[in-house]
């Protein structure tokens, strides 16, 4: 007899997730036949698995290796089939060890060999009490295969199948044997707590949910030492491979530059690693140099992609044997082509001109003027035909830069400049006033000199830093500025680009940044000043040289 399909009690369609109403046979959205959905399985207390760690229960382990006994069918006398207990079936635990099996001598008595009973619990009737142990008996010898007293048995289970860290339920003894009062409930198929009969394991499957038979794991895992260490030099040991973490890198061949990132690839002429492609830092991104009486530091800054500043420092001797210290700082004009080449050429040319003129007895102020002219010639030589003539290529500017320099002797201080790079005087005795030794070749300085604006208004204008003088083939007219001073007290001369004085413009502001021991530690002072500019934002390249005055008596030399 055919039957009508029965509606299913579903809240949503299993295909399109459309909400359903009670008694629907078909989905109103997709038309799916709801009667084809199988009825949800009934929960069985015997098969239920409680998950306590928030994860889904694992399916029971495959039991293909266990040969399950087949119960014979009920005969005509309606006698029930013989009952098989779980302990009659051999199996293994999660560690691969064989599960506890009843002793053959106990089979006839119908009882299993119990484990130690929980304190305060009477042993089951018919169970063999544990043999008393003498408190003075020596411990059994421990062999390679003998577990230590209190150690966990194989598989992580205690005798009788009880999991470590658990206790048998009240009224239940170890070994999984129930007292007579609870035997009917167990025979009726009522669920038993974990660690109950048959060693806490049913049908040969591992318990799901929270595991109590696993050893505790540490919070941190220490790194394992190297498997083999390289033999010490001269030890004569051979065959042990060297630890790659401590082995020295292979020495590159002469003239080969290795990548700073992978330390194995060769750097090509374009500044990129041939192995990993990492762009190598340019040598001019950060430069430091120190002589006995002068030091300089230059940094790319935090916003520019390259360092367009350059410096040159040196020392020499005057005809009378007294020392003379030289510092030249140049700032490439970013709107021009190849500004980094212009600043480097100008600083080198000016330094060489001073080192040639001062030992001959040329007055330091005249030597500074001639050095600026030599620097201008060096920058002009960088321009080609297309950049030297603006009418042919108005969109291309010739290489250009600014320059500021200082010469310090035992009694004289000379400065020279073109552009907006500056020189400051900071006395050792900070009670004396500091001073700015140069005037900018800039739009703002011209407005102040003409009386059209005060200094605050001029430097607040967006055109304030537009320079009106520079070194380059397209400069309007070269006008080197020089000045001589005879300080009556010791101090330091700070020669810098606008990448520094933008963050300490006034002489008083610069004096606050210069360390008190600048005359004794010029390199440290230059590093502090560059750091001040970087902390302020580092919007431009930063270059600074620090020269103590008077020049200390020392041997002549150059760098």
**Closest by Cα among 37, 35, 28 to 4:** 35
- Write the DSSP string, 154-173: GGG--TTSPPTT--PPTT--
The alpha-helical segments, DSSP class H, found in 123-204 are 183-187
Q: What percent of the chain has pLDDT over 90?
A: 41
What the block records as the tokens of 346 is: 């100008």
Contacts of 59 (CB under 8 A, 6+ apart): none
What residues have CB less than 8 Å from 22, skipping those under 6 apart? 7, 9
How far apart (Å, rounded) are the C-alpha atoms in residues 353 and 333? 23
Output the pTM of the full model.
0.54
- Asked if residue 167 lies in contact with residue 194, where contact means CB atoms within 8 angstroms, the answer is no
pLDDT at 187: 42
Distances (CA, A) of 413 to 19, 184, 353, 427, 547: 92, 112, 18, 13, 10
Q: Rounded to the nearest 5°, which phi and psi values hold at 106?
A: -90, -15
Strand, helix or coil for residue 296: strand
pLDDT band at 281 (very low <50, low <70, confident <90, very high): confident
Any bridge partners for residue 285, and if so which? none
Q: What is the arithmetic mean of pLDDT over 240-257?
A: 56
Tens digit of each residue's pLDDT (9 = 90 or more) over 294-342 = 999 999 999 888 999 999 999 999 999 999 999 999 999 999 999 999 9
More confident residue, 539 or 554: 539
Q: What is the mean pLDDT of residues 517-542?
A: 96
- Check residue 497 and give its pLDDT: 97
Listed residue (529, 451, 540) closest to 295, CA to CA: 529
- Structure tokens belonging to residue 352: 């060489």
Residue-wise pLDDT tens digits, 413-451: 999 999 999 999 999 999 999 999 999 999 999 999 899
Cβ neighbors of 294 (< 8 A, separation 6 or more) are: 313, 315, 325, 326, 327, 408, 522, 545, 546, 547, 548
CA 176, CA 114: separation in Å to the nearest integer? Answer: 8
| Whether residue 111 has pLDDT greater than 50 | no
Read off the pLDDT of each residue in 172-189 and give the average, rounded to a whole number. 43
Residue keyed to tokens 């369609």: 13
Q: How far apart are CA 479 and CA 417, in angstroms?
A: 9
| Confidence at 157, pLDDT banded by 50, 70, 90 | very low
Residues 445 and 498: their CA atoms lie apart, in Å, by 14
The pLDDT tens digits for 125-150 are 444 445 544 444 445 445 444 444 44
Task: Quote the mean pLDDT of the chain.
Answer: 73
pLDDT over threshold 90, residue 507: yes
Token readout for 550 is: 């008077």
């Amino acid at each position: 007899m055919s039957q009508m399909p029965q509606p299913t009690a579903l809240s949503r369609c299993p295909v399109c997730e459309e909400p359903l109403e009670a008694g629907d046979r078909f989905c109103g959205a997709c038309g799916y036949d709801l009667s084809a959905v199988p009825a949800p399985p009934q929960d069985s207390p015997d098969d239920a698995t409680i998950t306590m760690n928030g994860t889904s229960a694992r399916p029971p382990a495959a039991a293909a290796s266990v040969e399950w006994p087949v119960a014979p069918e009920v005969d005509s006398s309606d006698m029930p089939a013989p009952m098989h207990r779980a302990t009659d079936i051999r199996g293994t635990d999660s560690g691969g060890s064989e599960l506890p099996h009843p002793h053959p001598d106990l089979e006839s008595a119908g009882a299993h060999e119990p484990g130690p009973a929980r304190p305060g619990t009477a042993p089951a009737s018919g169970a063999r009490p544990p043999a008393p142990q003498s408190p003075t008996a020596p411990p059994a010898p421990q062999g390679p295969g003998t577990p230590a007293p209190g150690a966990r048995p194989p598989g992580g289970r205690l005798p009788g199948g009880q999991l470590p860290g658990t206790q048998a339920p009240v009224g239940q003894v170890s070994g999984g044997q129930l007292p007579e009062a609870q035997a009917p409930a167990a025979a009726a198929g009522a669920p038993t707590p974990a660690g109950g009969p048959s060693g806490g394991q049913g049908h040969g499957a591992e318990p799901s949910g929270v595991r109590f038979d696993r050893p505790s794991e540490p919070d941190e895992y220490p790194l394992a030492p190297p498997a083999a260490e390289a033999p010490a030099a001269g030890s004569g040991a051979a065959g042990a491979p060297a630890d790659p973490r401590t082995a020295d890198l292979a020495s590159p061949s002469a003239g080969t530059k290795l990548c700073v990132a992978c330390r194995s690839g060769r750097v090509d002429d374009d500044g990129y690693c041939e192995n990993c492609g990492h762009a190598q830092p340019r040598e001019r991104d950060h430069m430091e140099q120190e002589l006995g009486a002068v030091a300089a530091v230059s940094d790319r800054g935090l916003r520019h992609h390259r360092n367009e500043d350059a410096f040159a420092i040196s020392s020499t001797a005057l005809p009378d044997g007294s020392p003379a210290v030289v510092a030249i700082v140049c700032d490439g004009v970013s709107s021009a082509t190849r500004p980094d080449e212009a600043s480097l050429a100008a600083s080198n040319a000016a330094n060489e001109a001073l080192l040639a003129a001062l030992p001959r007895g040329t007055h330091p102020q005249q030597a500074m003027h001639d050095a600026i002219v030599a620097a201008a010639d060096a920058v002009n030589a960088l321009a080609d035909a297309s950049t030297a003539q603006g009418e042919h290529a108005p969109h291309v500017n010739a290489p250009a830069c600014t320059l500021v320099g200082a010469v310090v002797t035992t009694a004289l201080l000379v400065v020279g400049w073109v552009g907006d790079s500056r020189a400051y005087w900071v006395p050792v005795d900070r009670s004396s006033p500091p001073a700015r030794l140069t005037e900018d070749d800039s739009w703002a300085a011209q407005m102040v000199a003409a009386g059209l604006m005060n200094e605050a208004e001029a430097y607040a204008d967006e055109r304030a830093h537009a320079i009106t003088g520079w070194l380059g083939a397209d400069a309007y007219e070269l006008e080197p500025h020089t000045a001589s001073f005879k300080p009556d007290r010791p101090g330091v001369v700070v020669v810098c680009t606008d990448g520094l004085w933008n963050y300490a413009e006034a002489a008083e502001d610069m004096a606050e940044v210069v360390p008190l021991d600048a005359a004794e530690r010029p390199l440290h002072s230059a590093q502090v000043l560059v750091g001040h500019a970087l902390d302020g934002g580092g919007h431009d390249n930063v270059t600074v040289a620090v020269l103590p005055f008077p020049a200390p008596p020392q041997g002549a030399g150059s760098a």
